[in-house]
Amino acid sequence: MSEMKGSVLIVDDDREMRKLIEEFLQEEGYDAESVSSGDLALNSLQLKRYDLLITDLRMEGLSGLELLKKVKSAYPQQTIIMITAFGTVESAIEAMKLGALDYIIKPFKRGQLIVVVEKAFEQIRLQQEVNRLREVVTKEYQFSKIIGKSKGMQAVFQLIKRVSDSTVNVLITGESGTGKEMVARAIHYNSPRKEAPFIPIDCASIPEMLLESELFGHVRGAFTDARVDKKGMFEEASGGTLFLDEIGEMPLGLQPKLLRVIQEKTVRRVGSTKTSPIDIRIISATNLDLIEEVQGKRFRDDLFYRVNVLQIDLPPLRNRREDIPLLAGHFLKKYAGLQNKAISGLTESAMKILMKYGWPGNVRELENIIERGVTLSQREKISAKDFPPVITGGQGDQLLIEQALARMSSLAEVEREYVHRILQLAGGNKMKAAKILQIDRHTLYKKLEDFRKQQEASS
Ligand SMILES: Nc1ncnc2c1ncn2[C@@H]1O[C@H](COP(=O)(O)OP(=O)(O)OP(=O)(O)O)[C@@H](O)[C@H]1O
Ligand SMILES: [Mg+2]
């Protein structure tokens, strides 16, 4: 029994010729099929992948060149050989410029055909090998789409693998934008619970009263708006994973209730006396220093130990700069694809800037900068011009100071303007702004409050 050597689709409106090539190739062990027009070939390519396409140049309907252009734009990797009659060799050369690999001149002998086809298959196998190797390389630096070749990220991948099989509660820490939610999802989707739901809940954005009923559910009449019984997130996530994002922001009043659920593995809806058992894994995340929160009595220590059975700490991007080119390349491909722009990379000086910058907003900030760069870029490569001033070396701050000088502003005014500007750059995210300003967020809240009062007093 001979093994199939590969698949070939033959396109020729001359029935005899088509059948002849098909037969030759089948006898050589290729899985050959043939169709009588370019349109039929396009249909076949939609249904199935062929290693090699052999098409006649001059055909009724879609010509060989037209077919070539269509196939190359839809399937750039498709290998194509043209058949051309003696005297039309120019068009065969034209075809090769458009991406055909080779051509055969009619009339040809069986042996000539086989040689050209075998040569093509050598090329195809080489390409397949390159593709395979490329895949291996990206896989090594990637875990569930999380990218990183730095030691720090490789250690994170190891931890994810280790905790995925167990049900220990995991606490993911790291600055804003380091990928905490991505890691939480990776743990869930690599765990035996992957078929059950992954339910994220943002403890910072839900008001205390709502958070309680969101988490635990409620029974009808528990409070004014509770018209029907409602399952809470704990019950929804039973069998799966509950992701408590920004757990550091969980109101103190709710913390003992959360602790009870974790300890007793039962949940009681608000307003109910009945408890029901739940089977749940909890993954939490925070960008606060929870130990500091515990010391400041804003977070219960007993709850801290329960949610933090194992900690995964994500290193800030500035401490793993070797990941920057990899991530930049990944986001570039993503946004160039989404925006349908032919951008192949970054200029050397643009990459240097990325390598030097401090990245207070970490990977999310890098992603935003690349997306913006792809949008603005007019060339094949993103250059420093396509970056905002904050990235290119604080020219933004310089401008601010010059404006302030021109107006002879007071120090207080400059501070107010600066804080507002940073807050704007952080997209209104106070936590992130506080981090850039290197003050704690309570100080930031207080400053904003003071600015507001000053404004009121002066107007
Ligand atoms: N290692 C990584 N590889 C690829 N993409 C990443 C990586 N880390 C982060 N990202 C991307 O950066 C963005 C932010 O990630 P994510 O939301 O997981 O961060 P976070 O730590 O939860 O941030 P925050 O504290 O602000 O909530 C997402 O778009 C995510 O896809
Ligand atoms: Mg997050």
Q: How do residues 332-388 score in pLDDT, each as one tens digit?
A: 999 998 888 899 999 999 999 999 898 989 999 999 999 999 999 999 999 999 998
Helix, strand, coil fractions of the chain, as percent rounded to 5 = 50, 15, 35
Checking if the pLDDT of 4 tops 90, the result is no
Q: Which domains, and CATH codes, for the chain?
A: 7-137 (3.40.50.2300), 146-313 (3.40.50.300), 318-386 (1.10.8.60), 395-458 (1.10.10)
- Is residue 404 within 8 Å of residue 417, measured between CB atoms? yes
Q: Can you spell out the DSSP letters for 85-139?
A: ETT-HHHHHHHHHTT--EEEEES--HHHHHHHHHHHHHHHHHHHHHHHHHHHHHH
- Is residue 145 within 8 Å of residue 284, measured between CB atoms? no
- Is residue 9 within 8 Å of residue 53, measured between CB atoms? yes
CA of 182 to the centre of ligand 1 (A): 6
Mutate to test the pocket of ligand 1, among 178, 283, 333, 436 (most ligand atoms within 8 A of CB): 178
Ligand 1 neighbour 363 (Cβ under 6 A)? yes
- The residue nearest atom 8 of ligand 1, judged by CA position, is 179
- Copy the structure tokens of residue 316: 């800030």
CA of 205 to the centre of ligand 2 (A): 12
With cut-offs at 50, 70 and 90, classify the pLDDT of residue 304.
very high
The SS3 call for residue 51 is coil
Q: Which of 264-273, 388-397, 435-444 has the lowest mean pLDDT?
A: 388-397
pTM exceeding the 0.75 threshold for the entire prediction = no
pLDDT, tens digit, for every residue of 61-106? 999 999 999 999 888 889 999 999 877 788 888 899 999 999 999 8
Write down the pLDDT at residue 135.
Answer: 67
Checking if the pLDDT of 16 tops 70, the result is yes
Mutate to test the pocket of ligand 1, among 138, 363, 369, 441 (most ligand atoms within 8 A of CB): 363
pLDDT, tens digit, for every residue of 217-230? 999 888 888 888 88
Mutate to test the pocket of ligand 1, among 182, 201, 247 (most ligand atoms within 8 A of CB): 182
One-letter amino acid identity for 150?
Answer: S
> What separation in angstroms does the CA of 76 have from each of 100, 291, 450?
11, 54, 60
Atom of ligand 1 nearest to the CA of 176: 25
- The residue nearest atom 19 of ligand 1, judged by CA position, is 179
CA of 112 to the centre of ligand 2 (A): 62
Residues 301-307 have a mean pLDDT of 95
With cut-offs at 50, 70 and 90, classify the pLDDT of residue 1.
very low
Q: Residue 291, CB half-sphere, CA atoms under 13 Å: how many?
A: 2
- Is residue 279 within 8 Å of residue 237, measured between CB atoms? no
- Copy the structure tokens of residue 122: 């050598």
Ligand 1 neighbour 360 (Cβ under 6 A)? no
CA 47, 10, 117, 103 dihedral sign is: negative
Phi, psi of 243, deg, nearest 5: -105, 110
- Is residue 35 within 8 Å of residue 41, measured between CB atoms? yes
- Is residue 215 within 8 Å of residue 268, measured between CB atoms? no
DSSP type of residue 389: T
- Is residue 216 within 8 Å of residue 234, measured between CB atoms? yes
Residues 442-448 have a mean pLDDT of 89
